[in-house]
């Protein structure tokens, strides 16, 4: 089969390989699981027929994640925030303002976060074979025990691109030809080190905290015999407002194997009426955002020490340095009251790094700062944000100690793979906010 042209979109300094397939009336972004290699997929009958079927009703935008396939190899682990930037870069390069997003397997959590953070870019969302996290927790008894996942990762890295691992993946009944093709796909999709980095990020991913903030139409499709536990997918679908779930008998995990036609048919039936129909009635604009609050420690004493003029000059330098850091990390200033700043970000890792940058920048002025961050659903009104997430962010900041950047559990869960480390502060009660909250201090680095 003729291989579509591969193009490249620049996401920062990293080139992301993508292909445009079909010329349907709306766009669909296909977020791959693992492994993937664009051009190899067109030389493999199972995958080429699957991609051709998907492109029969849309313009399909298919890409290789950074570090895999034909995309650039990048140092370190790409966290969800970075991968969202890659999707936006590919959509922009393809001239796609808004699209249906189909997240497969480990591409599911990033797609969920993308749909909550950038609803203006997503007409509808489909999650196939995925869960909001892969390891078990006291309130999420699905998936793998963490130690089991890490042992399996070591096993797969050791056997990467071998016939033995390929046979484990495609199943005992697969032909020798299928085994050989899978070993080739592994080899072309990434190195053993790239696979280890991906697995290390996945073990810590947890997007449960954003499920209630997803406002775009969502379909969860899962095969009952998939090795990814269907109970975790059911749990997820129940917590996404208005989500529909389709359970399909049989397996396997790979969407282009088994009854792949049913998979494509259901996606077409779900996406076409939504993506070709009229735009929904405007509602209050709800976005997922990370809010940052800062203030100066012992500001009253410092003001009394410096006097009115000295304090005013200090605040001018304080404001200047904070705004420099906001510009560096794509933060949006929302309000300034005395010595406090209130800003929002479209990514929690950027918000944390900005807060740490602010802390160091103002220390040179002879003052100490504390900061608090929370990620949640906010109502956007004339450039400002409001809602319970804002109140929680302010309360988290109120719990911070001098020179401390304190974050909520949600923020910590969303920055897996970022290299940011935390020290647990334990449970806290936030004034005016129900429940008990676990808070974490960003470790000094």
pLDDT at 208: 95
**pLDDT value, residue 436:** 87
State whether 24 and 105 are in the same domain.
Answer: yes
Q: Are residues 264 and 289 in the same domain?
A: no
Question: What SS3 string covers the chain?
Answer: CCCCCEEEEEECCEEEEEEEECCCCCEEEEECCCCCCHHHHCCCHHHHHHHHHHCCCCEEEEECCCCCCCCCCCCCCCCHHHHHHHHHHHHHHCCCCCEEEEEECCHHHHHHHHHHHCHHHEEEEEEECCCCCCECECCECCCECHHHHHHHHHHHHHCCCCHHHHHHHHCCCCCHHHHHHHHHHHHHHCCHHHHHHHHHHHCCCCCHHHHHHCCCCEEEEEECCCCCCHHHHHHHHHHCCCCEEEEECCCCCCCCCCCHHHHHHHHHHHHHHHHHCCCCCCCCEEEEEEEEEEEECCHHHHHHHHHHHHHHHHHHHHHHHHHHHHHHCCCEEEEEECCEEEEEECCHHHHHHHHHHHHHHHHCCCCCEEEEEEEEEEEEECCEEECHHHHHHHHHHHHCCCCCEEEEHHHHHHCCCCCCCEEEEEEECCCCCCCCEEEEEECCC
Both 239 and 385 in a single domain?
A: no
Assign residue 233 the CATH number of its domain: 3.40.50.1820
Tell me if 157 is assigned to some domain: no
Instruction: Flag whether 416 is in a domain.
Output: yes
Domain ends where: 256, 276, 296? Answer: 276
- Do 357 and 248 have their domain in common? no
Please report whether residue 152 resides in a domain.
no
pTM confidence score: 0.89
Same domain, 256 and 323: no
Question: Do 207 and 319 have their domain in common?
Answer: no
Do 317 and 270 lie in one domain? The reply is no
* 294 lies in the same domain as 266: no
Contacts of 221 (CB under 8 A, 6+ apart): 126, 127, 128, 129, 245, 246, 248, 263, 266, 267
The last residue of one of the domains, among 276, 299, 325, is 276
Q: Does residue 66 fall inside a structural domain?
A: yes
Is 77 a member of any domain? Answer: yes
Across-strand partners of 441?
A: 406, 423
- Could you list the pLDDT tens digit for every one of the 445 residues in the chain? 578 999 999 999 999 999 999 999 999 999 998 778 998 889 888 889 999 999 999 999 999 999 889 999 876 667 899 999 999 999 999 999 999 999 999 999 999 999 999 999 999 999 999 999 999 999 999 999 999 999 999 999 999 999 999 988 887 777 888 888 889 989 998 889 888 888 888 888 899 999 999 999 999 999 999 989 999 999 999 999 999 999 999 888 889 888 999 999 999 999 999 999 887 765 668 889 999 999 999 999 999 999 999 999 999 999 999 999 999 999 999 999 888 999 999 999 999 999 999 999 999 899 999 999 999 999 888 778 899 999 999 999 999 999 999 999 999 999 987 889 999 998 898 988 888 899 999 996 5
- Both tokens of 444, joined, read 């000094």
Asked if residue 294 is part of any domain, the answer here is yes
- Domain count across the chain: 2
Same-domain status, 259 and 399: no
Do residues 116 and 49 both lie within one domain?
yes
Parent domain of 386:
285-442
Domain match, 267 and 292 both = no
Kindly state whether residues 10 and 36 are assigned to the same domain: yes
Nearest Cα residue to 390 out of 288, 241, 299:
288
Q: Tell me, what CATH number does 300's domain have? A: 3.30.70.1230
Q: Which residues of 27-41 are buried (b: 16+ CB within 10 A; e: fewer)?
A: bbbbbbbbbbbbebb
Answer yes or no: is 1 within a domain: no
pLDDT of residue 423: 94
* Domain-embedded: residue 176: no
């Amino acid at each position: 089969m003729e291989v579509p042209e591969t193009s490249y979109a620049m996401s920062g300094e990293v080139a992301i390989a993508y292909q445009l397939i079909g010329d349907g009336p709306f766009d669909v972004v296909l977020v791959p699981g693992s492994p993937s290699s664009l051009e190899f997929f067109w030389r493999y009958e199972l995958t080429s027929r699957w991609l051709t079927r998907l492109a029969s009703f849309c313009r399909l935008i298919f890409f290789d994640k950074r570090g895999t396939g034909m995309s650039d190899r990048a140092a370190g682990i790409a966290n969800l925030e970075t991968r969202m930037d890659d999707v936006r870069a590919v959509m922009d390069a393809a001239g796609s303002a808004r699209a249906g997003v189909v997240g497969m397997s480990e591409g599911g959590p990033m797609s969920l976060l993308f749909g909550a953070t950038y609803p203006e870019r997503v007409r509808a969302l489909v999650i196939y074979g995925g869960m909001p996290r892969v390891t078990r927790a006291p309130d999420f008894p699905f998936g793998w025990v963490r130690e089991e996942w890490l042992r399996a990762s070591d096993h797969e890295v050791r056997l990467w691109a071998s016939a033995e691992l390929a046979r484990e993946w495609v199943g005992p009944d697969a032909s020798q030809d299928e085994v050989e093709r899978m070993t080739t796909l592994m080899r072309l999709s990434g190195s053993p080190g790239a696979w280890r980095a991906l697995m290390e990020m996945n073990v810590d991913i947890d997007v449960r905290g954003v499920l209630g903030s997803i406002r775009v139409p969502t379909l969860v499709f899962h095969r009952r015999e998939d090795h990814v536990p269907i109970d975790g997918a059911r749990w997820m679908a129940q917590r996404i407002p208005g989500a529909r779930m389709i359970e399909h008998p049989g397996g396997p995990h790979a969407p282009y194997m088994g009854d792949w036609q049913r998979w494509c048919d259901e996606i077409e039936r779900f996406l076409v009426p939504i993506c070709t129909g009229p735009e929904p009635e405007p509602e209050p604009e709800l976005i997922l955002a990370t809010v940052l609050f800062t203030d100066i420690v012992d500001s009253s004493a410092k003001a009394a020490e410096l006097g009115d003029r000295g304090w005013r000059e200090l605040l001018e330098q304080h404001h200047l340095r904070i705004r420099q850091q906001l510009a560096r990390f794509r933060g949006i200033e929302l309000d300034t009251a005395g010595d406090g700043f209130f800003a929002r970000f479209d990514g929690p890792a950027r918000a944390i790094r900005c807060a740490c940058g602010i802390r160091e920048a103002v220390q040179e002025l002879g003052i100490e700062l504390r900061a608090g961050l929370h990620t949640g659903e906010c109502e956007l009104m004339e450039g400002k944000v409001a809602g319970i997430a804002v109140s929680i962010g302010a309360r988290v900041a109120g719990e911070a100690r001098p020179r401390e950047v304190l974050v909520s559990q949600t923020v910590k869960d969303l920055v897996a793979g970022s290299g940011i480390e935390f020290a647990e502060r334990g449970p806290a009660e936030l004034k005016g906010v129900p429940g008990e909250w676990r808070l974490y201090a960003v470790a000094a680095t």
